Structure 1
Amino acid sequence: MKQKFLILGGDLRSIKLAEMLITDNNKVFAYGLEKSEDIQENSQIDKISNLQSAIEKVDIIIGPTPFSNNGETINSPYAKEEIKIEQLVKANKQKILISGGIKESIKEQLEEKFLKVIDVMKREELAILNTIATAEGTIKLAIENTDKILQGSKVLILGFGRVAKIVASKFSLLSTKVTCAARKISDLAWIEAYGYNSININDILYELKDFDIIINTVPQIIIKEKELKHMKPDALLIDLASKPGGIEGTKAIQMGLKYIWALAIPRKGCTNIICRIYKRGYI
């Protein structure tokens, strides 16, 4: 047997990773995955009900990506109860913790307690693969939540960072009409260099009525009630940004708009690929 791993919380990627580690003859424990049928039905994975006990049994703890959505609890959608970050900080350990998207302030706390803390999203290849999965998941959401084909649809993407670049590329390959909005002059120049339409985020108000799909990647509220009033009644709004997001979602829903806050959406079909790369990085 190679090593002992604790899979702590997480989504489909964590579940698939647990199965891959088992296949490689590692010992795997799970905590915070009580609602996962795949985990519960796998007799080779030890399900632990006490976090301290789980940590004591292993060499390496693998947390979710992102590690936390709110800075207080560990990202664990399959857990029966919330797992507070302070529980992990207080646990007795000299272990290796591997997770992704850990805020620097939280990482500093963890580094005081753990032997080593590794943020996998600091690795460029993992961040890129995660972004590809996010882009494909966004396309899936767009197909499922619109009444017309994507070809010819007008798509507005807010921001032009890593996620926005890949999302724009994938949507343009589907013959949609892509416009990207940014503030920096250099970003606007790059948007045009890639062949997309460009617009300054500060000038989007009276342009919003033209778009069928609006995708936000900026973790700062940009789309408020004033902007929402200028949108098509059947427009689809997808927010990919971490908290607080970039769209006033509650207001959008109240106004009858179709709004999706799509946190952590790697498509199922991409999960195997990402986990192989994750596993390679871990071991």
Structure 2
Amino acid sequence: MLTGYTIAIIGGDARQLEVIRRLSEWDASLYLVGFDQLDHGFTGAKQVELDDIEPDQLDAIVLPVPGTNLEGHVDTIFSNQTVQLTEEWVGKTKEQCVLFTGITNDYLTKLSNEQKRKLIPLFDRNDVAIYNSIPTVEGTIMMAIQHTDYTIHSSKVIVLGLGRVGMSVARSFHALGADVSVGARQTEDLARVYEMGLKPFPLHSLKDAVADCDMVINTIPAQVVTAAVIQHMPSHTLILDLASKPGGTDFRYAEKRGIKALLAPGLPGIVAPKTAGNILATVVSQILIEEIGERGSQHVGE
């Protein structure tokens, strides 16, 4: 339970609605900024503007997955409000106030350092990334089916990267009957690919590996699917790039060659916002209890 906690939830997409619902169910007092166009309310939650909040009452601030831009502005999909998270405003919060974001940037990192507030980029956590790999895989399968005229079964699929998402994608496409090869840089990752019963290859030989592939699924946030690589692909190859923007694919050259290449970051929020929001809410509540649990119990006793 989060009785006694006061939390501001600022902006976001459909995932934030599930975060609001769950935190409200757990009895937190919520201020919602950037949700005035919603056609329903949440028990225990107040829709306000940022200036209406007394910052020194806040135990936590929950930002959307993208956090802010480099000027501190927050996307508010459910509002026409312009919301800016400033250093001055954050400086008025409790010293123990925790800032949650999906991913951070130079602005948020600088703000938290200068104001000495704890910043937690949720997507840097292994637990969140592993949980999110589930809807990411389902979204990748959906896109693969939508954008091809052949089955996944028996297709030659190349997965680039064996991180938390890459491992789940490789395993799932293999389970669907695809002929899966995995490209990685680290020798230990190549050993793990072999142990999984898949075909490993070093990234430096990617040009050779794609010569007869049907699908390339990239999870590496660096330019790995270059023009030189795309040049060696069959014309029917589908490229699904799951890396964060701008991805790891030369999309200009892929279009020039007539190869379909799709950038698809943030699939959990697109294909399963309820599940993705539930993941975030669970982790946020766990961290709050760990970080300020003692102070929260004092609130309850007062």
Measured against the shorter chain, the TM-score band is 0.7 to 0.9
Q: Report the Cα offset of residue 62 of structure 1.
A: 0.6
Q: Which residue of 1 aligns with 2:136?
A: 134
Is contact 2:230–2:254 with CA below 8 Å preserved after alignment? Answer: yes
> In the TM superposition, what whole-angstrom CA distance separates every residue of 1:230-252 from its partner, at most 9, and x where no partner exists?
22222211111123321012332
- In structure 1, the partner of 2:208 is 206
- TM-score of the aligned structures, taking structure 2 as reference length: 0.78
Q: Does 1:185 align with 2:196?
A: no
What is the correspondence of 1:25-40 to structure 2 with a 5 Å cutoff?
25-33=27-35, 40=38
Alpha-carbon spacing, 1:88–1:141, altered in 2? closer, same or farther (3 Å): farther
What value does the CA root-mean-square deviation take over the aligned residues? 2.9
Aligned equivalents of 2:126, 2:243: Cα separation in 1: 19
8 Å contact from structure 1 (residues 222, 247) kept in 2: yes
| Equivalent residue, structure 1, for 2:48 | 48
Q: Secondary structure at the match of 1:278?
A: helix
1:258 aligned residue: 260
Residue equivalent to 1:61: 61
Task: Report the AA paired with residue 162 of structure 1.
Answer: R
User: Percent of pairs identical after alignment?
Assistant: 28
Q: Which amino acid aligns with 1:23?
A: E
- Give 1:15's aligned residue: 17
3-state DSSP class of the match of 1:222?
coil
Q: CA distance change for structure 1 residues 222 and 32 in 2, over 3 Å: closer, same or farther?
A: farther
Retained in 2: the 8 A contact 1:55–1:61? no
Number of the residue aligned with 2:89 = 91
Classify the secondary structure of the residue corresponding to 1:259: strand
**Greater mean alpha carbon deviation, residues 149-158 or residues 263-272:** 263-272
Q: Deviations over 1:77-103 (max 9, x none)?
A: 72647766xx43342432321223325
Which of 267-276 and 217-226 deviates more?
267-276
Superimposed CA distance per residue, residues 203-255 of structure 1 (whole angstroms, 9 cap, x where no aligned partner): 12133131111111111111122222222222211111123321012332343
Picking from 231, 234, 237, the partner of 1:232 is 234
Alignment of 1:242-257 (within 5 A): 242-257=244-259
Question: Aligned partners of 1:102 and 1:67: how far apart in 2?
Answer: 6
Residue of structure 1 in register with 2:173 after alignment: 171
Count, aligned residues: 275
Matched, 1:144 2:143: no
Give 5+ residue unaligned stretches, structure 1: none
CA distance 1:229–1:74, change in 2 (3 Å): farther
- Once the two structures are TM-superposed, the CA of residue 124 in structure 1 deviates from its matched residue by 3.1
1:12–1:187 CA distance, 2 compared to 1 (3 A): same
